[in-house]
């Protein structure tokens, strides 16, 4: 079933990242915590992290999470795992520019939830700290054009990545506008290559005027 947001995220009780991480590191009756990293560790209107545990993870960055959870990966996450293993990584971590769950990006909220964004950036800082030199796969496709605030979120992620010496990569061809390829439909033997994320972000298009409909599209 697709996930359709039940209103904006400022109407739900938000779990802060650090206590959510603490809970996710404790045994769960729902999945094997020695294999999975899932924060928060219960299904909600947002998700900070979903991935497998390892010493050398590939961090994949999409725009926003859908319905995937431990043991129930969607087609995008299955592709992410294949690409990670095929490129010599022993695990993957799925992260998103914005943490709100919505199967269709058109359903994302129009206005950035500052608190949710702040906690999401804490999650990004954490997963980068898991590797000596983290590899971050830019994999959001053209969806970043859906909301203007996504570019601001990305800029902050780039700055955090610089603090950790992150290597940004892409997989597959970029779009005509220069957007990195989405993981879906990539061949299993696709290879990652360096992606100039700072140059890419500097070419941010002018903000578009969008019509609001009750806070969400």
Q: How far is CA 110 from the centre of its chain?
A: 18
CA dist., res. 79 & res. 94, Å (int):
11
Strand 192-194 to strand 36-39: parallel, antiparallel, or no bridges (unpaired)? Answer: unpaired
Residue span of the structural domain in which 85 resides: 11-202
Assigned domain for 193 exists: yes
Assigned domain for 161 exists: yes
Q: How confident is the model at residue 207 (pLDDT cuts 50, 70, 90)?
A: low
pLDDT per position as a tens digit, 109-153: 999 999 999 999 999 999 999 999 999 999 999 999 999 999 999
- HSE (side-chain half, CA atoms, 13 Å) at 59: 25
**Total tally of structural domains belonging to the chain:** 1
pLDDT per position as a tens digit, 82-111: 999 999 999 999 999 999 999 889 999 999
pLDDT per position as a tens digit, 64-76: 998 899 999 999 9
Assigned domain for 207 exists: no
Assigned domain for 1 exists: no
Predicted confidence at residue 98, as pLDDT, reads 98
Residue 126 in tokens = 């954490």
Predicted confidence at residue 41, as pLDDT, reads 96
The length of the chain, given as a count of residues: 217
Compute the mean pLDDT over every residue in the chain, rounded to the nearest whole number.
92
Q: How confident is the model at residue 214 (pLDDT cuts 50, 70, 90)?
A: very low
Assigned domain for 89 exists: yes
Beta strands (DSSP E) in 40-163 are: 49-52, 57-62, 91-96, 135-138
* 160, 125 Cβ separation under 8 angstroms: yes
Q: Is the pLDDT of residue 209 over 80?
A: no
Predicted confidence at residue 213, as pLDDT, reads 33
Assigned domain for 209 exists: no
Residue 193 in tokens = 């290559």
CA dist., res. 125 & res. 145, Å (int):
24
Cα distances from 92 to residues 37, 42, 57, 61, in angstroms, run 10, 19, 5, 11
* 123, 95 Cβ separation under 8 angstroms: yes
Predicted confidence at residue 3, as pLDDT, reads 77
Assigned domain for 139 exists: yes
Assigned domain for 157 exists: yes
pLDDT per position as a tens digit, 31-65: 999 999 999 999 999 999 999 999 999 999 999 99
Helix (H, G, I), strand (E, B) or coil at 36: strand
Cα distances from 29 to residues 42, 68, 70, 71, in angstroms, run 11, 17, 12, 13
Q: How confident is the model at residue 206 (pLDDT cuts 50, 70, 90)?
A: low
Say which residues have a Cβ less than 8 Å from residue 106's Cβ, sequence separation at least 6: 146, 217
- HSE (side-chain half, CA atoms, 13 Å) at 11: 8
* 102, 135 Cβ separation under 8 angstroms: no
pLDDT per position as a tens digit, 147-174: 999 999 999 999 999 999 999 999 999 9
* 121, 95 Cβ separation under 8 angstroms: no
Predicted confidence at residue 166, as pLDDT, reads 98
Q: Is the pLDDT of residue 4 over 80?
A: no
| Residue 57: strand pairing partners | 91
Predicted confidence at residue 204, as pLDDT, reads 84
């Amino acid at each position: 079933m697709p996930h359709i947001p039940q209103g904006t995220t400022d109407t739900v009780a938000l779990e802060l990242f650090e206590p959510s991480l603490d809970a996710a590191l404790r045994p769960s009756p729902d999945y094997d915590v020695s294999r999975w990293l899932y924060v928060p560790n219960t299904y909600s209107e947002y998700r900070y992290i979903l991935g497998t545990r390892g010493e050398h993870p590939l961090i994949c960055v999409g725009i926003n999470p859908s319905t995937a959870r431990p043991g129930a990966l969607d087609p995008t996450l299955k592709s992410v795992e294949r690409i990670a293993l095929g490129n010599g990584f022993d695990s993957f971590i799925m992260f998103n520019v914005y943490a709100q769950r919505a199967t269709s990006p058109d359903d994302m909220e129009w206005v950035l939830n500052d608190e949710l964004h702040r906690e999401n950036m804490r999650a990004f800082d954490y997963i980068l700290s898991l590797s000596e030199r983290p590899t971050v796969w830019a994999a959001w496709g053209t969806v970043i054009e859906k909301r203007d605030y996504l570019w601001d979120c990305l800029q902050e992620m780039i700055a955090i990545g610089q603090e950790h010496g992150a290597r940004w990569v892409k997989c597959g061809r970029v779009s005509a506008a220069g957007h990195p390829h989405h993981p879906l439909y990539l061949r299993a033997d696709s290879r990652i290559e360096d992606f100039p994320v700072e140059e890419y972000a500097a070419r941010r298009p002018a903000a578009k005027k969008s019509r609001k409909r009750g806070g969400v599209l």
